[in-house]
Chains A and B, each alone.
Chain A
Amino acid sequence: MKIKTCVSAIALTTGLALGTAQASEWTLEKAAEPYAGTIVDVVFLLRPGYEAAEAMLPDFEARTGIKVNIVKHPYENALGQQVLDFVADGDFDIALIDLVWIGNFAENDWIVPVSKFTSNPDLADPELDMDDFFPLVLNAFGGWNGEVYGLPFDNYSGLMFYNDCMLKDAGFDGPPKTWSELKDVYGPALTKDGKYAFALQSKRNETQSADSFARMLWPFGGSFLDEDFRSNLLSKESQAGLNFRQDLMQYMPDGIVSYDHAETVNAFAQGDVAMITEWSAFYSSLKNPETSKVVDCMKIAPEPMGPAGRKPALGGFSLAVASQADEDEQAAAWLFIQWVTSKANALEYLERGGVPARRSVYAQDGIAEKFDFVPALVESWQDGVPEFRPRFAEWPEITEIVQEWGTKIMLGDVTTEEGARILGERMEAVLEEAGYYSGDKPLAQ
């Protein structure tokens, strides 16, 4: 793994060094000349960051002559559609990778390391500046086993959105600092007259695994796996987190297990819920008067801390070049990825509703004032855990188990202990089959 990292770093540095020498000559138009007319296919989600990129796209197409064909899917279909396409040697030239898919895509050789392009001075933008990406985000969203495959594109951190007016009416000066404070102090005070203190999106899909289950493990010191890759869900810390979630449900709307992002964001936007912990990507819709009644009352803070620290939810997507694309398509795909995630475009992407992972854009004057989620976001990206959800190839199987038993625990069908025991046994069976315990696979997550 270390050798790979070294080679990758050398390739990257060489590429950038070569690029720097040609900085004065390199332009996007010139780099794209050989690929004019090439069509690249990519999956986009139905989310604000993708609408932002789509709105910026005409500029790229006019400058390069490269046509970007966007295939839109809801999140739940995006993995399945891409897997089927890659298995069948299909059309996608760019892979859209949720951070938990990176191990899967990389181990199946469906994506190409960025070093292939950054080492090519004809394709590498001298202004690429990989160090400008938040290291946690670049590593978690685009890196696997010491190699960088994707550049962070649609970037999230869990944030606390709170209704300051409701909090003030209840006598609070600011949001809770800790999860315990949220439950024990804010919960009883804000849950009344058909309104609720908090909503935790917990629908039985990736939302249950990422937004609900994992969110309550890490701040309490728990985790999915211990260092030997055995289940850690029965540890005192993991159990404390899961039991906390059960207790907290009394301050959430009925049927919270059927709440996905849309229902949760909507409940907050309608003023029915005082606080939610949601992805930064929903900022633009909550700030839009057409979709939110609480624009003037909404404030944002980092997620509350648990006994083990903040450990906020971490999620997001990178874009990587697909290995099934031919050489011209790969080059054209890289030029698009490099352009859409570039430092130069970060401000426009942000202003159009996207969330870039470029440090430089958040350091600009006035950005923190204009986009009030920025300070909390930047703080969260310092405290995040890359393996918030394990990123190995087995995650699609394991998340199904987490979704099933996580929901059963919430519904009270099983106790947290019994649910965690069964979940752990099934999780270990998947890892056993994959070869982690026999030493066939490195314990990388």
Chain B
Amino acid sequence: MPATTSRSTIFAFLGPAVISLAVIGIVPLLYAFYTSLYFFNLTKLKNARFIWFENYGSVLTDPVFWEAMGRTFRLLLISLPLQIALGLVIALVLHRPGLGFLRVLTRLSLVLPMATTYAVVGLLGQVMFNQKFGVVNQLIGFLGVEPVNWIGDPFNAFAMIIFLDVWQWTPFVALVLLAGLTTVPGEVEEAARLETKNWWTILRHVQLPFLMPGLVAILILRTADTLKLFDMVFTLTRGGPGSSTELISLMIQRVGFRAFDQGVASAQAIILLIITIILAQLYIKLLYKEV
């Protein structure tokens, strides 16, 4: 390899990726920011006008926006720890030696929920949790439990969304953590097991440092995914009953494409983006350490 690389070679290799990223990611973002500074309602384009940061003011003082934001964070704070706890248990079980073919089979089956489209998960949920015909009520009926109104009750509907989110994304967490566990040097782990039989001590002092990069990636990806979770909830409850499952992404879609107020919806989206970036930076600062 030559000591120096010409500018044209660098551009040839990096250019397509940078240009694609700019066109696909940055241009729409800039346009959203531009739109957020306008009164821009698709059904009132004749009244479109530059209004500086008025949309941001109205979003930040809108209790409905903060209610939706609170709901989204409630989902994040409940489902993400559950996913990490369950994913860690699965990863530790699969990391044990001697499982053979069962390990391969489990790894393959873990991919299935992740590979299922969000919208399909929502539609499956609609069928499975239907009060009258759903398989879930039929199963609990065998235990003598009365049919539960899953979709029509605000509390149950939110619980259902947590359940489906945990079902779909725990395997992802498990696989990432399992990959992290395989990076622990065998001799170190073996030495630790000779020192102590306490699994928690081994996890805490030997395995966890190797899991941290994966864990930070999980936190960033799952936080971003949860904050923008849309398809599954839209197909399952459409934000209802009432506003009980109206997450922030559903609210943005409602304002932008059902009330057609693109200016306010863009401002909401930009605020959400800022919150997501701040959280990602916090995760990296507080948790990420090179092993």
Closest Cβ–Cβ distance, residue B238 to chain A (whole Å):
7
B44 with A393: CB separation less than 8 A? yes
Which residue of B has the minimal Cβ distance to A406?
Answer: B242
Closest Cβ–Cβ distance, residue B157 to chain A (whole Å):
8
Residues of B within 8 A of A257 (CB): 152, 240-242
Give the complex CA separation of A396 and B255 in angstroms: 10
Which residue of B has the minimal Cβ distance to A109?
Answer: B46
B258 with A407: CB separation less than 8 A? no
Closest Cβ–Cβ distance, residue B94 to chain A (whole Å):
39
- Given the interface contacts A80-B258, A255-B151, A411-B154, does A104 sit within 8 Å of B241 by beta carbon? no
| A254: Cβ under 8 A from any B Cβ | yes
| Size bracket, chain A contacts | 20 to 34
Which residue of B has the minimal Cβ distance to A255?
Answer: B152
Residues of A within 8 A of B132 (CB): 272
| A258: Cβ under 8 A from any B Cβ | yes
B261 with A397: CB separation less than 8 A? yes
| B260: Cβ under 8 A from any A Cβ | yes
B240 with A204: CB separation less than 8 A? yes
Which residue of A has the minimal Cβ distance to B45?
Answer: A87
| A108: Cβ under 8 A from any B Cβ | yes
| B131: Cβ under 8 A from any A Cβ | yes
| B149: Cβ under 8 A from any A Cβ | yes
| B239: Cβ under 8 A from any A Cβ | yes
B254 with A80: CB separation less than 8 A? no
B43 with A83: CB separation less than 8 A? yes
| B237: Cβ under 8 A from any A Cβ | yes
| B243: Cβ under 8 A from any A Cβ | yes
| A404: Cβ under 8 A from any B Cβ | yes
| A1: Cβ under 8 A from any B Cβ | no
Which of A84, A104, A258, A407 is within 8 Å of B151, CB to CB?
A258
Cβ < 8 Å to A, chain B residues 239-283: 239-243, 254-255, 257-261
Residues of A within 8 A of B45 (CB): 87, 108
B242 with A413: CB separation less than 8 A? yes
- Given the interface contacts A87-B42, A255-B131, A397-B259, does A404 sit within 8 Å of B241 by beta carbon? no
A204 with B42: CB separation less than 8 A? no
- Given the interface contacts A80-B257, A396-B258, A400-B259, does A255 sit within 8 Å of B43 by beta carbon? no
Cβ < 8 Å to B, chain A residues 63-122: 79-80, 83-84, 87, 104, 108
Which of A83, A87, A272, A407 is within 8 Å of B242, CB to CB?
A407
B237 with A258: CB separation less than 8 A? yes
Closest Cβ–Cβ distance, residue B73 to chain A (whole Å):
20
Residues of B within 8 A of A83 (CB): 42-43, 260
Residues of B within 8 A of A108 (CB): 43, 45-46
Closest Cβ–Cβ distance, residue B268 to chain A (whole Å):
14
| B153: Cβ under 8 A from any A Cβ | yes
Give the complex CA separation of A413 and B64 in angstroms: 14
- Given the interface contacts A84-B42, A108-B45, A396-B259, does A204 sit within 8 Å of B152 by beta carbon? no
Give the complex CA separation of A258 and B240 in angstroms: 7
Which residue of A has the minimal Cβ distance to B157?
Answer: A258
Closest Cβ–Cβ distance, residue A412 to chain B (whole Å):
10
B242 with A404: CB separation less than 8 A? yes
> How would residues 133 to 167 of chain B score, 1 for a CB under 8 Å from any chain A CB and 0 otherwise?
00000000000000001011110010000000000
Which residue of A has the minimal Cβ distance to B241?
Answer: A257
Closest Cβ–Cβ distance, residue B123 to chain A (whole Å):
13
Residues of A within 8 A of B240 (CB): 203-204, 257-258, 407
Closest Cβ–Cβ distance, residue A397 to chain B (whole Å):
5
Q: What would be 27 A-B contacts, judged by CB atoms less than 8 Å apart?
A: A80-B257, A80-B258, A80-B260, A83-B43, A84-B42, A87-B42, A87-B45, A104-B43, A108-B45, A108-B46, A204-B238, A204-B242, A254-B152, A255-B153, A256-B152, A257-B242, A258-B152, A258-B157, A258-B241, A272-B132, A393-B43, A396-B43, A396-B260, A397-B259, A400-B259, A407-B240, A408-B243
**Chain A: residues with CB nearer than 8 A to chain B?**
79-80, 83-84, 87, 104, 108, 203-205, 254-259, 272, 393, 396-397, 400, 404, 407-408, 410-411, 413, 434
Extra contacts besides A396-B258, A407-B240 (13): CB < 8 Å: A80-B257, A83-B42, A108-B43, A204-B241, A204-B242, A255-B241, A257-B240, A258-B152, A259-B152, A272-B132, A393-B44, A404-B64, A407-B241
